[in-house]
């Protein structure tokens, strides 16, 4: 019995340990070296770079000193002051070396002398690593500026391997050496034998995994020949003890395109193959980026897409997952900012991932091709379908990453991180009183999230209305996406960017909301959005709606020829209109029915004309217009059914705002017209329509009014009825007009 209990305890312990491990892995299975890497990149505390930036912000050091300390930090130099030492490891140092290249001419001579060894390739006798080896007694102290001991033309980098495609040379030291332990236990002795094994593993990756070939095909370029540097024109990769970064890629020039070289931290070793292969891909992609013109402000996109390249080359390793939580947990940080949080530029790979999954991998190449024309941010805006204005709202919705907005997929799975865990995510309990929803100041290319929870009394409340949406969306690049969870029926996603309000009829199972998650996003590259406040109201009145689609044939009467006595062409046309709306204000208590108030009705209209023929009036012949002359429109109709607004004949005025984009195309498309009387063809044409509001556009009439609803005829509206111009000329005939029906929602 005792043995049995012990067995049970062992089984329970194993199950609990497995559960903890799965929790740490967040539902995704990672190799041990990648899991270790994830934990290192998300460790609490500040890196040396962050400590240096903090001192700079506090004006404890100047810009030049900060840059010098950052370079010393990347290479683990013991000249870095103790105040900036940290056990929190950075990922790589390419950005620091990029900044060093850009600012080199502005540095003082003294600083240039100190930092020159760090600019040289490791096989250069005057490089930091060879000077370090030359000064390595039992307690190694490396003073870059002093150069007290010189090995002349000697270098410890005489051994190398070459990839099978003859494009890459992997250098490793030919002797053992050690560095003073500056950053604690991470610093180890460098064994030439260990470095050789690491070089052999890199060669295997290059030979078998098509890293170079994949990037060449993607970017449609080959790396630049670096002349005799490294002995020939190949890309040189050096294995050296960076100690505080996994790798760097340094451009040979600050003017793009340029050749480059790579240093990989020899401490990675051969025992962490998954980490090694993804760092290798990351740094090689930096080398390809240096083939394209770019600006200093594009550094964030360089890091974002280099991180994306790890997934491109090794889609199932998922090293890049280390950065997802940092991005999703910080939606208020602009896409292009380096921090906060730490390494936000790496985390921005998620946007590159979103782009490639929606538009294909070539979208990354297209952005880099266009970076030199403006900036990489401008290039992204230019190459994306609909630009950032359209795609940013979709991306920020994706980052909610829960049903019904769970779109990310990956091999074998995508982590379960969600914006619910962000500091910006706020819950609003909707009860009987009005609930204000405050949207704070939004940075460019950022977002915030609010959840409206339905806590109303369903026996009393019949409607929940989200109002004043335009107070946020009045900025042209502001957007609102709604992820709607229902108590019964299917969950849904809606775009509220062009809505002033959204009414939910609780009696209708298809609108009985449990929760609405709102994504407020700013798709502008430069401008902030000021704080705004929308409102959530409840209503105990019966919920009335208009929701219908009507289709019919109409006959258009098109005059042509002599303006005083025109010829009329009668043209059949397929006509359809979708109408959706609800009251936009609460009815006066004196109104007989609660739908007798102000209404707002959105519509989507389309009319397609059949082929028609017109006679040529000057010469014999005809002009033939083929089928396909299309008119489209999207707009909003507003009217007031309040008793005081109705005429004696139950008529009312109707305002129309028209010209919003139609999902199928522009306002008007005219096919090519064959004009035989002149033996020519008029080219096809397209016409757009600006958004405009027409007051008192036409009249409406309400009839058959009961507690269950009513009917509305829109008089002289060419979208709904027969219509004439102001002179009385009949422009369109319909056998039966489209009648709008007010109904109780869900009935």
3-state secondary structure 403-443: CCCCCCCCCCCCCCCCHHHCCCCEEEEECCCCEEEEECCEC
425-475 pLDDT, tens digit each: 999 999 988 899 999 999 999 999 999 999 999 888 999 999 999 999 999
Give me the pLDDT at residue 153, please: 59
The yes-or-no verdict on residue 145 having pLDDT over 90 is no
Q: What span, in angstroms and rounded, lies between the C-alpha atoms of 14 and 354?
A: 38
Give me the pLDDT at residue 342, please: 83
Rounded average pLDDT over 550-554: 96
393-428 pLDDT, tens digit each: 999 999 999 999 999 998 788 999 999 989 889 999
**Residue 548 structure tokens:** 């219908």
Give me the pLDDT at residue 141, please: 42
CA neighbor of 248 nearest in space, from 259, 233, 234, 237: 237
Q: What span, in angstroms and rounded, lies between the C-alpha atoms of 241 and 642?
A: 80
Q: What span, in angstroms and rounded, lies between the C-alpha atoms of 394 and 392?
A: 5
Q: Regarding predicted confidence, which is higher, 285 or 79?
A: 285
Q: What are phi and psi of 743, to 5 degrees?
A: -135, 160
Distance from the first to the final alpha carbon of the chain:
65
- Distance (Å) of CA 48 to CA 40, 95, 180, 542, 722: 14, 14, 17, 63, 75
Give me the pLDDT at residue 397, please: 98
Q: What span, in angstroms and rounded, lies between the C-alpha atoms of 537 and 297?
A: 44
Q: Are 380 and 356 in contact (CB under 8 A)?
A: no
Kindly state the percentage of the chain with pLDDT values over 90: 70
Count other C-beta atoms under 10 Å from residue 121's C-beta.
Answer: 20
Angle at CA of residue 326, ends 323 and 331, nearest 5°: 130
Q: What span, in angstroms and rounded, lies between the C-alpha atoms of 581 and 600?
A: 6
Q: How confident is the model at residue 673 (pLDDT cuts 50, 70, 90)?
A: confident
Q: Are 747 and 549 in contact (CB under 8 A)?
A: no
Q: How confident is the model at residue 636 (pLDDT cuts 50, 70, 90)?
A: very high
333-366 pLDDT, tens digit each: 999 998 778 889 999 999 999 999 999 999 999 9
- Distance (Å) of CA 534 to CA 434, 478, 479: 11, 14, 13
CA neighbor of 51 nearest in space, from 28, 30, 72, 24: 72
273-289 and 299-313 helices cross at what angle (nearest 10)? Answer: 130
CA neighbor of 134 nearest in space, from 120, 145, 150, 122: 150
Q: Are 353 and 308 in contact (CB under 8 A)?
A: yes
**DSSP class per residue in 165-209:** TS-EEEEE-SS-B----SSGGG---B-HHHHHHHHHHHHHHHHHS
Report cis status (omega within 30 of 0) of the bond before 340.
yes
Kindly state the percentage of the chain with pLDDT values over 70: 90
**Residue 728 structure tokens:** 């009385």
**Residue 385 structure tokens:** 């379908």
Q: What residues contact 233, with CB distance under 8 A and at least 6 apart?
A: 225, 226, 227
593-626 pLDDT, tens digit each: 999 999 999 999 999 999 998 887 666 778 888 9
Q: What span, in angstroms and rounded, lies between the C-alpha atoms of 223 and 215?
A: 10
- Distance (Å) of CA 548 to CA 423, 637, 659, 742: 41, 14, 21, 10
Give me the pLDDT at residue 563, please: 60
Q: What are phi and psi of 207, to 5 degrees?
A: -75, -35
Q: What span, in angstroms and rounded, lies between the C-alpha atoms of 157 and 179?
A: 16
- Distance (Å) of CA 318 to CA 23, 289, 307, 367, 410: 16, 22, 10, 23, 9
CA-only gyration radius of the chain, Å: 34
650 in the Ramachandran plot: left (φ > 0), alpha (ψ -120 to 50) or beta?
Answer: left
148-177 pLDDT, tens digit each: 334 445 888 999 999 999 999 999 998 887
Q: Are 502 and 466 in contact (CB under 8 A)?
A: yes
Q: What span, in angstroms and rounded, lies between the C-alpha atoms of 465 and 738?
A: 28
Rounded average pLDDT over 247-254: 94
Strand spans (E) along 561-628: 567-583, 598-609, 612-615, 622-625
Give me the pLDDT at residue 315, please: 95
Token pair 């979103």 is found at 354
**Residue 224 structure tokens:** 């630049």
The yes-or-no verdict on residue 270 having pLDDT over 80 is yes
Q: What are phi and psi of 339, to 5 degrees?
A: -165, 170
CA neighbor of 483 nearest in space, from 394, 364, 421, 380: 394
Q: How confident is the model at residue 684 (pLDDT cuts 50, 70, 90)?
A: confident
CA neighbor of 187 nearest in space, from 140, 130, 232, 152: 140
Q: How confident is the model at residue 715 (pLDDT cuts 50, 70, 90)?
A: very high
Q: How confident is the model at residue 5 (pLDDT cuts 50, 70, 90)?
A: very low
CA neighbor of 294 nearest in space, from 383, 385, 378, 391: 378
Q: Are 608 and 574 in contact (CB under 8 A)?
A: yes
């Amino acid at each position: 019995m005792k043995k049995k209990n012990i067995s049970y305890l062992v089984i329970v312990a194993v199950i609990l340990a497995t559960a903890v491990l799965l929790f740490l892995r967040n539902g995704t299975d990672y190799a041990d070296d990648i899991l270790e890497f994830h934990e290192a990149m998300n460790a609490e505390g500040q890196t040396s770079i962050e400590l240096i930036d903090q001192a700079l912000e506090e004006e404890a050091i100047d810009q030049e000193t900060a840059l010098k300390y950052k370079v010393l930090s990347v290479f683990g130099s013991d000249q870095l002051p103790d105040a900036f030492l940290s056990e929190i490891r950075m990922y790589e140092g390419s950005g620091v070396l990029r900044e060093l290249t850009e600012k080199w001419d502005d540095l003082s001579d003294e600083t240039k002398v100190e930092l020159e060894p760090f600019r040289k390739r490791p096989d250069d006798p005057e490089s930091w690593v060879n000077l370090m080896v030359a000064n390595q007694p039992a307690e190694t102290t490396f003073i870059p500026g002093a150069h007290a001991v010189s090995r002349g033309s000697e270098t410890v980098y005489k051994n190398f391997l070459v990839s099978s495609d003859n494009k890459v040379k992997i250098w490793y030291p030919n002797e053992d050496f050690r560095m003073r332990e500056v950053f604690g236990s991470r610093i180890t002795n460098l064994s030439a034998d260990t470095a050789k094994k690491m070089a052999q593993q890199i060669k295997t990756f290059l030979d078998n995994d098509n890293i170079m070939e994949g990037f060449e095909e993607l970017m449609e370029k080959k790396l630049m020949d670096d002349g005799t540097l490294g002995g020939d024109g190949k890309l040189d990769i050096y294995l050296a003890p960076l100690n505080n970064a996994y790798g760097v890629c340094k451009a040979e020039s600050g003017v793009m395109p340029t050749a480059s070289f790579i240093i990989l931290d020899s401490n990675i070793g051969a025992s962490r193959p998954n980490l090694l292969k993804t760092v290798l891909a990351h740094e090689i992609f930096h080398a390809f980026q240096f083939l394209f013109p770019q600006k200093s402000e594009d550094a964030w996109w360089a890091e974002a897409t280099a991180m994306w390249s790890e997934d491109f080359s090794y889609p199932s390793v998922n090293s890049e997952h280390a950065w997802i939580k940092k991005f999703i947990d910080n939606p208020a940080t602009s896409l292009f900012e380096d921090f906060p949080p730490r390494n936000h530029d790496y985390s921005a790979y998620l946007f590159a991932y979103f782009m490639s999954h929606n538009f294909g991998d070539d979208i990354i190449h297209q952005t880099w091709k266009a970076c030199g024309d403006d900036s990489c941010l401008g290039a992204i805006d230019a190459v994306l379908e609909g630009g950032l204005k359209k795609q940013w709202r979709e991306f920020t919705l994706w980052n909610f990453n829960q049903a019904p907005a769970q779109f990310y997929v990956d091999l074998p799975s995508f982590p379960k991180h969600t914006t619910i865990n962000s500091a910006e995510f706020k819950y609003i309990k909707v009860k009987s009183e009005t609930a204000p929803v405050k949207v704070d100041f939004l940075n460019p290319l950022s977002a915030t999230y609010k959840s409206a929870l339905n806590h109303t009394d369903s026996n009393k409340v019949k409607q929940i209305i989200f109002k004043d949406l335009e107070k946020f969306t009045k900025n042209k690049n502001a957007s609102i996406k709604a992820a709607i969870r229902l108590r019964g029926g299917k969950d849904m996603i809606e775009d509220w960017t062009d809505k002033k309000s959204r009414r939910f009829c609780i009696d209708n199972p298809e609108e009985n909301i449990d929760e609405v998650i709102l994504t407020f996003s700013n798709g502008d590259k430069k401008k902030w959005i000021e704080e705004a406040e929308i409102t959530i109201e409840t209503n105990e009145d019966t919920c009335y709606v208009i929701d219908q689609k009507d289709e019919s044939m109409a006959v258009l009467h098109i005059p042509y020829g002599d303006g005083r006595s025109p010829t009329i062409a009668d043209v059949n046309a397929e006509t359809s209109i979708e109408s959706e709306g609800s009251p936009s204000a609460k009815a006066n208590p004196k109104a007989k029915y609660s739908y007798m108030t102000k209404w707002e009705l959105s519509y989507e209209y389309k009319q397609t004309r059949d082929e028609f023929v017109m006679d040529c009036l000057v010469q014999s012949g005809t002009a033939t217009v083929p089928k396909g002359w299309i008119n489209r429109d999207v707009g909003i109709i507003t009217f007031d059914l309040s008793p005081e607004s109705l005429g004696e004949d139950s008529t009312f005025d109707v305002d129309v705002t028209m010209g919003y984009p139609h999902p199928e195309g522009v306002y008007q498309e005219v096919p090519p017209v064959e004009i035989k009387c002149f033996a020519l063809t008029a080219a096809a044409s397209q016409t757009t329509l600006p958004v405009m509001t027409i007051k008192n556009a036409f009249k409406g009439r309400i009839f058959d009014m009961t507690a269950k609803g009513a009917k509305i005829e829109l008089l002289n509206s060419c979208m709904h009825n027969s219509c004439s111009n102001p002179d009385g000329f009949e422009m369109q005939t319909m056998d039966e007009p489209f009648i709008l029906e007010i109904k109780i929602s869900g009935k």
